[in-house]
Structure formats: C-alpha cells, structure tokens
Amino acid sequence: MATASTILPCAHEEKTIRDFPLPTRQAIVNCGYPEWYKKYRGITGKARVVPLTTEFLDYLKADGIILPPDTPVVSISDRDSGVFSVTNTEDSDGDDEDDDDDGENPAQNFPEVHGAIIAAIAELGGSVYPKLNWSAPKDAAFMLGNTLKCSSPSDVYLLLKSSNFITHDLEHAFDETVDTPDENGKLLKLSDVEYALVLRKWVDVITSVEFRCFVKQRKVVAITQRDLNHYDFLENGREEFLALIQEFFARHLEKTFPEADFVFDVYIPKTLLTESRVWLVDINPYSPKTDTLTFAWQEILNIDPSIPGFKPEFRIIKKNDPEAYGFSQPYSAHKLPREVVDAAAGGAESMLQFKNDWKHIVEGLGGTGINDSSDEDENDKDEEKKDDEVEKKDDGVEKKDDGKVTG
Ligand SMILES: Nc1ncnc2c1ncn2[C@@H]1O[C@H](COP(=O)(O)OP(=O)(O)OP(=O)(O)O)[C@@H](O)[C@H]1O
C-alpha cells in the first residue's frame, strides 16, 4: 500500500469520523442508479431499469423464499443461430397446459415486473447482473454458486430475497442522513423513493482495473483499487490510470453531478480492439456507509483539495504488503441469507425442514406464461447502438420483435 504522503491535513484541527458531514436524503437519491443512469447512460454499461411495483416490493419484503416456475429466457444474442427463436416448454406436470391451480406462483402478483425481467434478460444477451437502487445482492452470491450471474427471473429473485444488502436498500437507505425538509416542510421518505431493479448486461469483469474514486468539493481527492490484490502492472500504469480518471471526471461528472461530494467507481479495461476506455460502474454517497477500501474515512475527511498543486493519492496494493491483509474481508458478516440463519438458529431439525422446503421450491414448480413487452424508445436504441459499437461482442446479433415466452 502506498504511504499517505500526499494526504495533506487541514491547517485546522484533525477531523475525526464524528465530524462526518452526513449526506442529505436527496443526495442518497441522486446516488441511486435509476437517478444517475438517466444522465450518464452513454458512459456506463448496457442495462435495463425495471420500475418496481408495490406488489413486487411486498414480495421482496415478505418472509420466505418462494420462486415462480422456471421461465425459459431465450437470449437474443444466440450467436450460433443468430436468431431469436422461442420454444414452448412443458409444465412441470408435463401436460403442456397452463396450470390454473398453481396458487404458489408469486409472479402472478407482479406480471409486469416479471415480464419486463424476462424481456430484459433476453435483450441483454441471456445473463445479467442485478442490483436495486443502490446495492447489488453480493452477500447472497453463494446462493447461485458464488456468482451474481442471473439467467432467469428466479435467479434474480433468489438473490434479491436472500440479501441483507437489498433489505438495507428497502428499509434503511435513509439511515444516517440529515433531514432535508423542503420549503413546505416536507421530508423525503422511503415511501417516496421510486424503487427499480437494475439489470446490467453480464460482463466478465477484470477486477484489477476497477477503481473507487472519492470526490470532495468537486475534486477527485483519492483513488483506490477495488480488488485488494497486488498487480504488477498497476504500479507501472499508475500515472496513466490517474490521467484517464481525471480526464473522465472533468469531462463527464465534475460539472454535472448534483452533489459536490460523492464517490464513483470506474472500470478501465484495455482490449486489443479498443484503447483503454473508462466506464462508470456506480456512484455512491459520500457517507460513512460507503466502503473506503484502502483508505479510512478519517483520512479522506482530512484531505484539503484547495491546497495549490494538490494531487489525489492513488492507492494500490504493493507486493507483499502486510497492511493489505488488514483490510476487512467484505461482506463476511453477511454471508448467509435470512432463511438459512433463521433455520440454523432452530437447530438440526429446522435445517432439515429448510432443506426439504428448499428442494420443494427448486424442483416442484412448472412453467409460466408471460409475454415479452419490450417497448424501448428511440433514445434507448441510439444509446445501445453506441454501446454495441464498443461492445464488439454483440456483433451480428439479430433481434426478433415479437418474441413471446410462453409456458
Ligand atoms: N455488468 C456486470 N457484470 C458482471 N459483474 C459486474 C457487473 N457490474 C458490476 N460487476 C461487479 O460487481 C461489483 C460491484 O458492483 P457495484 O459497484 O455496482 O455493486 P454495489 O453493490 O454498489 O457495490 P458497493 O457496495 O461496493 O458499492 C463490481 O466491482 C464488478 O466487479
């Protein structure tokens, strides 16, 4: 880890975490994906934002994990055939007819959301990375074999319903904020939040070139690796990455993001086909809740970017860096979904019951009938064209307009 030599303490008293200027609720909303995506969709990965209905939110908040029947999702980027072909699948009972008696299909309560998810997965090539307004269900990845790669609505629901991070988005997003009553004395409440499911096209991310950047007073003040392993090439590329990030910030975020203090994540892959390109991955609140990785919040709080000649510190993990082992293992406190924790608390019998229930959930359900109702506007298509030019992988994909997925 680099030394903190470029961190310049303020002339005044050293600030501690107790001096943290808590964000406003509006700042939290501004850092939500559905909000910033409206402005920055041209500089982030391809995604779909699915507005969530009350019925779907109720499903997420309800105890227990009941999944809808498996729904076939046919990728539109099936490169073998180049066409979007759809096949009907049989019901679990094999009778090839709709089952009216399936009272257990939770998707019946939120058909628009379910249909939009099916359509989005298909449009995004068959696999997606899900998140809610602020968080991805990373703590639940083990439910899918240690990945967040989803290829069906059930994969998405399983992750969302197993994740404490998602519960946090739904119930605690405005914790640790300061009140911001508007001119009429009204205060933003969680019930005012327009919750959305973000489905990003799945990318095999090269985690060594992901960086978290801290912005204070509209200046990048600190940058850290996100993947806390040592990579030789980062040491040599430090100046180039710093320049790319500074240029990206100046061009896209400095004057347009509504908050003066925030944290943004970027991904800077270099491929044989393209020059290094900076992609916006996420925007996070300037809040103690945002993980500072190789920094401590107290260090960031004490940086004074107004000092002439100020240069942000770019921290990367050095070879055999003993300090690097001190960084906490992310999500270690959140490895198990609520149902598993609850079942474990009830002892062996309870775990056995959980296992049986789980088997029932996974195996016992059949097909569903949902129509693909994709209605992109022209802007969407333009942006995607741009995305596709960069994402050479999507070349040669043919779309079918009226793809129906039926069960
Ligand atoms: N489209 C994608 N496909 C595959 N992996 C992705 C994709 N987008 C992001 N990731 C991986 O997931 C990680 C976390 O993504 P993201 O920052 O959006 O989640 P988050 O919940 O907001 O994380 P944090 O709480 O650390 O801010 C990224 O660092 C990246 O490695």
Q: Residues 136-156: pLDDT tens digits?
A: 999 999 999 999 999 999 999
Pocket test residue of 35, 265, 266, 289 for ligand 1, highest count of atoms within 8 A of CB: 265
Dig out the tokens for 59 from the structure: 């499903």
Cβ(136) – ligand 1 distance below 6 Å = yes
303 C-alpha to ligand 1 centroid (Å): 27
Strand partners, 150: 128
Among protein residues, the one with the nearest Cα to ligand 1's atom 19 is 136
Cβ(68) – ligand 1 distance below 6 Å = no
Residue 213: CB partners within 8 Å, gap ≥ 6?
A: 220, 222, 223, 245, 249, 263, 264, 265, 266
Cβ(200) – ligand 1 distance below 6 Å = yes
81 C-alpha to ligand 1 centroid (Å): 31
Work out the angle between the directed axes of helices 347-363 and 338-345 (0-180°, nearest 10). 140
Strand partners, 47: 200
Cα separation of 404 and 406, whole Å? 6
340-370 burial, b for 16+ CB within 10 Å, e for fewer? Answer: beebeeeeeeeeeebeebeeebeeebbbbeb
Dig out the tokens for 239 from the structure: 């100046």
List pLDDT tens digits, range 10-34. 456 788 888 888 999 999 999 999 9
Q: What is the pTM of this model?
A: 0.75
Which helix (H) or strand (E) covers residue 154, if one does? helix 153-162
> Above 0.90 for ipTM, yes or no?
yes
Among protein residues, the one with the nearest Cα to ligand 1's atom 22 is 135
Among protein residues, the one with the nearest Cα to ligand 1's atom 17 is 282
Among protein residues, the one with the nearest Cα to ligand 1's atom 25 is 135
320 C-alpha to ligand 1 centroid (Å): 26
Cβ(71) – ligand 1 distance below 6 Å = no
Residue at token pair 């100020």? 310
Cα separation of 331 and 296, whole Å? 17
Atom of ligand 1 nearest to the CA of 265: 17
Which long-range contacts does 104-108 make (Cβ < 8 Å, 24+ apart)?
A: 104/66, 104/365, 105/68, 105/69, 105/365, 105/368, 106/59, 106/66, 106/67, 106/68, 106/157, 107/68, 107/153, 107/368, 107/370
Angle, vertex CA 367, rays to CA 362 and CA 373, nearest 5:
120
In 144-190, the DSSP E strands lie at none
* 403 vs 72, higher pLDDT: 72
Specify the pLDDT at position 150.
98
Specify the pLDDT at position 338.
45
Cβ(169) – ligand 1 distance below 6 Å = no
Pocket test residue of 146, 169, 282, 329 for ligand 1, highest count of atoms within 8 A of CB: 282
186 C-alpha to ligand 1 centroid (Å): 34
Which helix (H) or strand (E) covers residue 383, if one does? helix 378-390
User: Residue 399's CB: how many other CB atoms inside 10 A?
Assistant: 12
pLDDT tier at 5, thresholds 50, 70, 90: very low
Poorest-confidence range of 42-46, 260-264, 309-313, 349-353? 349-353
Q: In what order do the strands lie in the sheet with 47-51?
A: 47-51, 196-201, 128-131
Which long-range contacts does 50-55 make (Cβ < 8 Å, 24+ apart)?
A: 50/113, 50/116, 50/117, 50/120, 50/196, 50/197, 50/198, 50/199, 51/194, 51/195, 51/196, 52/113, 52/195, 52/196, 52/197, 53/110, 53/112, 53/113, 55/109, 55/110, 55/113
pLDDT tier at 356, thresholds 50, 70, 90: low
CA end-to-end distance (rounded Å), the chain: 54
Of the chain, the percentage scoring pLDDT greater than 70 comes to 67
Cα separation of 269 and 274, whole Å? 9
Cβ(125) – ligand 1 distance below 6 Å = no
Pocket test residue of 281, 390, 393 for ligand 1, highest count of atoms within 8 A of CB: 281
Would you call 95 exposed, middle or buried from its count of C-beta atoms within 10 A (0-12, 13-18, 19+)? exposed
Average pLDDT, the chain: 78
Dig out the tokens for 271 from the structure: 């491929």
Is the confidence at residue 372, as pLDDT, over 90? no
Delimit the domains of the chain by residue range: 1-39+207-319, 46-202
